[in-house]
Chains A and B, each alone.
Chain A
Amino acid sequence: MLSLVTTVATAQQTGLPEIVLDQSGYYPKLEKSAVVLQAISGNHFELLSMPDRKTVYTGVLSEPKATGYSKIKTRIADFSAFDQPGQYIIRIPGISESPVFKISDNVHHDLAVAALKAFYYQRASSALDVNYEGKWNRIAGHPDTAVYIHPSAVSKGRKADSKINVSGGWYDAGDYNKYVVNSGISTSTLLSAYEDFSEYFLGLEVHIPHAKNKVPDVLTEAVYNLRWMLKMQDPGDGGVYHKCTNLDFDGMVMPDKAISKRYVVAKGTAATLNLATVAAQAYRIFKHFPEQYPGLADSCLLASKKAWNWSLNNPNIVYDQDMLNKMSDLKVTTGAYGDKDFEDEWIWASAELLASTGEQAYFDAFFARLNAPVSLPSWSNVGILGYYTLIRCEGQLPEHYKSVTSILKKKIVTLADRYLTAFKTGPYHTVIGASLYDFAWGSNSSAMNQSILLINAYLFSKKDAYLDAAVSNLDYILGKNATGYSFVTGVGYKSPLHPHHRLSFADGITEPIPGLLVGGPNREKQDGLKYNSEPELSYLDDANSYASNEIAINWNAPLVYVANAMECIEKGKK
């Protein structure tokens, strides 16, 4: 009894919600569960249909689960066995009823569209039309048509303070700079979503400007950033500038008011291999659109090979911002995206070039690194993305290279099975949150990348359990978490209103730009703000909380993949 009282007191102090669930809703045939965060004495829950409030399902709550890293205890209300579409609430004696939620086909359609359209809102150098942006329309900023060559980026033919055109591309995150390494994984993730679910994307419209040219919107949007990435390559030698940036971050103002001098900074191996990778993948896709994008595919392949060759000649050029700042008066203090280990970039680039060309040299480069372990991708750890690609393109690989994919599948399944265990035993009945270490910077993107891995495992194994685990993380970011927030702006009944995002902060509109995934709980709290001490509650809906409430293209891209993949798979189109 004493422990029960103590638990309740803790819950009240932390302001925990009582029942948390996916605020967008659930697919009829997949995993469905809610999490109870308050101590209760009973063991049963009811599902009531709405608005008639009839009991349609009664279930048994799980035993209390301890997280192992916090004082919070959870109980799972699993109603996966109930599959009737409709609107419902969960009722448990002694605590408040849950909000209304739905079970339905296409339950994540709006999310899938919003997450992709968010990239349109992130476009630099572009005015956004009221017909497409509605109240979030804006005039153009950062034309980037005359960007200065930083002293670190000088090369034969491009002197310091000369100017080049690197217009376009997406703003990286809450700031207005553009970073090639983060663009790489983001653009590729959108392209991979298309490659994995191409038929589905042919029918998906997200209301962005296009020429009605039968190009899927996901590709129209990806091309906007791809063209920028191509401009970041020095045509003289094939090397790629690390970023297009101010010297310092802009203030919290609209793009047209942010008029600091812009630079391209230092070429590096990571940036160059990122372009080699994305351009190789783009070649494979856009060669099927010769009328809409004449010459683009060939340009991409040429750029990719030039970038590869530059990297062979410059295999270890690290972007070290601190060191560069010691060598120049033009000190750069914006995001570093420094990476010292390029083995994963080599894996990824060689895989994409192998998939696109079938050439021996790329197979050799890939095979040479096959002993390396792979893990969940992030901007600095991209090796497994190459695995996804070679499995996806297995049918197009030369016969003598195909067998290697069974090794790749086995490595992916090893990780997927680990996630499956986390899902089955975890305190939130999700993959994310099984470990304290899940709650790091950009934790929500880890959740989405875990889901992508599980979806890839499903695509080649057809094991339904992987889908259940994948969708559980979507439930997590849409509200089935300790904070009770849906972490996607504009989605759900409680979502972030104050993301660390200049466009949303400075536009004078109450609602933030929709479809943006914020970073999420981050126990490291690098922004120095005061958060709840529990790891899974270490989130603040505060514009100053760049450590938990910023948005970023490499976080939204996996959300695009997962939401659209689930919509496609659930429709049975695949």
Chain B
Amino acid sequence: MAVGMIMLAVHTYALAQKNLVVNGGFENELDGWVDYSAKVTPYMYSAGKMSSAIFSSDSSKWTGMHQVVSLPKNTQYILMSAKIKVDGVSIGKNAWNGALFLFETLNNQETKIGEGINVASVTGDEDWKLYEKAYIIPPGVTKIKLLFALGYVTGTMFVDEVSLKVITQSEFEKYL
């Protein structure tokens, strides 16, 4: 019994540490990502040897990539993070337009629940910067869709070190 409890604790701890994003550092090209315009580049990165670059010269378009991450059963708290660098990103018509890091919550059928939630909207020029969002998983949400995009702006966005980890409640509270 005691061994079982220890194993459960170790398993929970391991889950709490594991990055659930596939290829969050883009070292394996765009493996794991649904790409509708992103490219990997070896010329600019925050860690490793690669990052993802999203470029747009058309401010009427949404240009980006996403990955759907399945959450372990009964996940309650997660931490999402990514490093982002932007070059010459224009200002769009709406305040939220920019180089975007956002996420959507999905159910088992991958149906979106509620509205997408913005983690970052960056314009202009900015060096690598860490963006994080601690989030409570509402009942019924089993997957998270992470999106990076140039949302109705022009310019270049680099993305690296994308992570989604299950965290404990006490870790979550550090972000309040």
| A residues adjacent to B (C-beta < 8 A) | 364, 367-371, 403-404, 406-407, 410-411, 414
In the bound complex, how far is the Cα of B136 from the Cα of A371, in angstroms? 6
Number of interface residues of B (CB under 8 A): 10
**Cβ contacts under 8 Å, A370 to chain B:** 136, 138
Tell me if B169 counts as interface (CB < 8 A to partner A).
Answer: yes
Chain B residue at minimum C-beta to C-beta distance from A368: B138
| Chain A proximity mask over B83-113: 1 for CB below 8 Å, otherwise 0 | 0000000000000000000000000000000
A-B contact count (CB 8 A): 27
Name the residue among A371, A403, A407, A410 with the largest chain B CB count within 10 angstroms: A371
The one of B76, B135, B138, B176 in contact with A411, judged by C-beta atoms closer than 8 angstroms, is B176
**B163-176 CB contact bits vs A (8 Å, 1 = yes)?**
00000010011001
B176 near A410 with CB under 8 A, answer yes
Interface 1/0s, chain B 136-176, versus A by CB < 8 A?
Answer: 10111000000000000000000000000000010011001
Q: How far is the CB of A108 from chain B (nearest CB, A)?
A: 34
Beyond A407-B172, A410-B176, list 17 extra A-B contacts (CB 8 Å): A367-B138, A367-B139, A368-B138, A368-B140, A369-B138, A370-B136, A370-B138, A371-B135, A371-B136, A371-B138, A404-B169, A406-B169, A406-B173, A407-B136, A407-B173, A407-B176, A411-B176
Residues of A within 8 A of B135 (CB): 371
Cα(A519)–Cα(B176), bound, Å: 33
- A residues within 8 A CB of B173? 406-407, 410
Query: Is B176 within 8 A of A414, CB to CB?
Result: yes
Please indicate the chain A residues that have their CB under 8 angstroms from the CB of B176 in the complex. Answer: 407, 410-411, 414
Query: With contacts A410-B176, A411-B176, A414-B176 known, is A368 near B169, CB below 8 A?
Result: no
| A369 contact set on B, CB distance < 8 A | 138
Assembly CA distance A196 to B27 (angstroms): 57
Q: B23 to chain A: closest CB distance in Å?
A: 27
A568 → chain B closest CB, angstroms: 30
Which residues of B have CB within 8 Å of A367?
76, 136, 138-139
Contacts of A368 in B (CB 8 A): 138-140
Which A residue sits closest to B135, measured CB to CB? A371
Q: Could you list 8 A-B pairs, sorted by A, with CB under 8 Å?
A: A368-B139, A368-B140, A370-B136, A371-B135, A371-B138, A407-B173, A410-B176, A411-B176
Scan B120-141; emit 1 where CB is below 8 A from any A CB, else 0.
Answer: 0000000000000001101110
CA distance A566 to B176 in the complex (A): 29
> Which A residues are CB-close (under 8 A) to B172?
407
Closest to A372 in B: B136
Is B169 touching A403 in the complex (CB atoms < 8 A)?
yes
Q: Once the chains are docked, how many angstroms separate the CA of A407 from the CA of B139?
A: 17
What is the bound-complex CA distance between A411 and B172, given in angstroms? 12
CB-nearest residue of chain A to B134: A371
Q: Give complex CA distance A407, B138 in Å.
A: 15
Chain A contacts for B136, CB-based, 8 A: 367, 370-371, 407
Q: How far is the CA of A289 from the CA of B135 in the complex (A)?
A: 42
- Of all chain A residues, the one with the shortest Cβ separation from B170 is A406
Nearest opposing residue in chain A for B140, CB measure: A368
Query: Ordered nearest first, which 9 A-B pairs have the shortest CB separation?
Result: A368-B138, A364-B139, A370-B136, A410-B176, A371-B136, A410-B173, A368-B139, A403-B169, A411-B176
